[in-house]
Amino acid sequence: MTTPAIFKADDFGSDFLWGIAIAAAQNEGAYNLNGRGLSIWDQFSLRGGKIKGNAKPDVCCDFYHRYKTDLLLVKQLGFKVFRFSIAWSRIMPNGTGLVNKAGILFYHQVIDECLALGLIPSITLYHWDLPLALQKEGGWTSHLLLKWFSKYVILCMQEYGNKVKHWIVLNEPMGFTSLGYMLGKHAPGKSGIKQFFAAIHNAAMAQAEGGRIIRAMVPDAIIGTTFSCSEVVPATNKKEDILAAKRIDILMNRLFIEPVLGMGYPSDNSILMDRLHLFTKAWKYTERMQFDFDFIGLQNYFPVTVAHNAMIPYVQAVEVKATKRKVPHTDLGWEISPTSFYHILKQFASYPNVKSIIVTENGACFKDKLQKGAIHDVQRIDYFKSYLNALLQAKKDGMPINGYFVWTLTDNFEWSEGFQAPFGLVHVDFETQQRTIKQSGYWWQQFLMNIKE
């Protein structure tokens, strides 16, 4: 891959969607205010030892009270699109049934503020914060999930469908099903293969069902759903490592997009996939997994290198960490590789019926130092420059890429990393809630300033 040395935002085209993303559970706080019900993350944070520093998402960066000034920051930095999510338990405290008027009003206010500022609101319906009441009934593993989720989506469309045209159904289904229901590292902290399979199948059906509901209720909506993705590289060119990489590629990249495209779950003769096929066949409804999305949201942070390891259950593969391989990485140990970003975009763009791709998240965690009121996060700027270079190359090579959203606006609650993993373009002092635009924020401001409308 060759990359041009200098590029401008305009090189991506005047209709390219430049955005910035946040999520309710990571930003809003106000966890028990004005009728909001608890989410699985509120409860998970009470289980000691699960989250760094025993952090709790009670206040986060207080977006609930500060959304107006945070939206001004979005505007000031020059972004066109503001991606945020609705906290299901803020508008339906029990997950189903009762509707919380104050919660409904809050999102009307955020949407109205976006529109008044000339920002395009792009709303994620589910960004990992399931209402706790639903988890008590099995959450993503329950046969009732699809019914609960459909009612929630219908409510969102009734309320906001006439104002908001950009919708994202799920955020990274592989993320919340694997970390939350298989590995126990995220809320609700469950583990076990049966829970994992049930969560996978419900998520695969919910993403398509959500799309169908939006299409029926808001015919002019632009509908997408997001997938985490990572180029998977074998540690050596030995056959067993190459096969291990193929198995992990299925899990990390193919599992959720192929059913959407009508290809069903991928097969690879591994124990894991054989069992998933048996499980979902018994559960049926596999035809409900397909939907013709207007765009696919891709979220990429790093590639993974994997080696065969017979000791690891189901996948017989293990990651060889970037820190061990001594390759460039962020402060979370995530490998920095713009070339792999290009490769994974190409992998997804190669599916014949992917019409349009938006990179709905990309960004980097570096531990910033606030010095004399400023943050010189040069590494983050370099990260963005190199990834944008790769993105532009991908676009020039004909891939249907129509937008890019930065992760994220303000430092926030980074799930099990608590408040110790800053990704923001804006630093937050969590004691005072003081915001300070980082040098990377100013870099973006300059970069976006010259776009010809």
Hey, how many other C-beta atoms are within 10 angstroms of the C-beta on 69?
11
Answer yes or no: 172 catalytic. Answer: yes
CA dihedral 50, 52, 53, 58 (to 10 degrees): -70
**Are 24 and 127 a contacting pair, CB within 8 Å?**
yes
Hey, how many other C-beta atoms are within 10 angstroms of the C-beta on 194?
12
- The Cα 420–Cα 416 span in angstroms is 9
Question: Which position among 28, 258, 335, 361 bears the catalytic label?
Answer: 361
- Between 335 and 414, name the residue whose CB sits nearer to ligand NOJ: 414
Closest approach, Cβ 412 to ligand NOJ, in A, equals 7
Bridge partners of residue 166, in order along the sequence: 122, 222
Which of 9, 17, 23, 208 forms a contact with ligand NOJ (CB under 6 A)? Answer: 23
Which element (helix H / strand E) includes 160? Answer: helix 145-160
Closest approach, Cβ 130 to ligand NOJ, in A, equals 14
- Between 63 and 241, name the residue whose CB sits nearer to ligand NOJ: 63
Closest approach, Cβ 171 to ligand NOJ, in A, equals 5
Task: Order the strands of the 232-234 sheet from edge to edge.
Answer: 232-234, 304-308, 317-319
Q: Exposure string (b/e) for 159-181, b if CB count within 10 Å is 16 or more?
A: bbbeebbbbbbbbbbbbbbbbbb
- Between 85 and 270, name the residue whose CB sits nearer to ligand NOJ: 85
- The Cα 441–Cα 73 span in angstroms is 10
- Between 229 and 394, name the residue whose CB sits nearer to ligand NOJ: 229
- The Cα 444–Cα 362 span in angstroms is 14
Q: Interaction with ligand NOJ in 221-260: which residues (CB under 6 A)?
A: none
Question: Which position among 28, 159, 172, 335 bears the catalytic label?
Answer: 172
Q: Interaction with ligand NOJ in 289-348: which residues (CB under 6 A)?
A: 299
Closest approach, Cβ 174 to ligand NOJ, in A, equals 10
Instruction: Give the total of residues touching ligand NOJ (CB under 6 A).
Output: 9
- Between 104 and 336, name the residue whose CB sits nearer to ligand NOJ: 336
- Between 135 and 299, name the residue whose CB sits nearer to ligand NOJ: 299
DSSP 204-261: HHHHHHHHHHHHHH-TT-EEEEEEEE--EEESSSSHHHHHHHHHHHIIIIITTHHHHT
**Are 124 and 166 a contacting pair, CB within 8 Å?**
no
- Between 27 and 100, name the residue whose CB sits nearer to ligand NOJ: 27
- The Cα 374–Cα 148 span in angstroms is 46
What are the Cα distances from residue 206, in Å, to 203, 211, 289, 290, 342?
A: 5, 8, 8, 10, 29
- Between 152 and 176, name the residue whose CB sits nearer to ligand NOJ: 176
- The Cα 188–Cα 141 span in angstroms is 11
Hey, how many other C-beta atoms are within 10 angstroms of the C-beta on 352?
6
Q: Interaction with ligand NOJ in 355-374: which residues (CB under 6 A)?
A: 361
Give Cβ neighbours of residue 20 (< 8 Å, ≥ 6 apart). Answer: 74, 77, 79, 81, 82, 83, 405, 406, 408, 409, 425
Which of 249, 335, 368, 414 forms a contact with ligand NOJ (CB under 6 A)? Answer: 414
Which of 167, 407, 443, 444 forms a contact with ligand NOJ (CB under 6 A)? Answer: 407
Q: Interaction with ligand NOJ in 155-184: which residues (CB under 6 A)?
A: 171-172
Answer yes or no: 361 catalytic. Answer: yes
- Between 332 and 451, name the residue whose CB sits nearer to ligand NOJ: 332
| First-to-final CA distance of the chain | 30
**Residue 85 binds ligand NOJ (CB under 6 A):** no
How many distinct helices (H) and strands (E) make up the chain? Answer: 16, 13
Judged on CB neighbours under 10 Å (0-12, 13-18, 19+), 289 is buried
Of the candidates 89, 156, 173, 92, the one whose C-alpha atom is nearest the C-alpha of residue 121 is 156
Binding site for ligand NOJ (CB under 6 A): 23, 26, 171-172, 299, 361, 407, 414, 423
Q: Catalytic residue numbers?
A: 172, 361
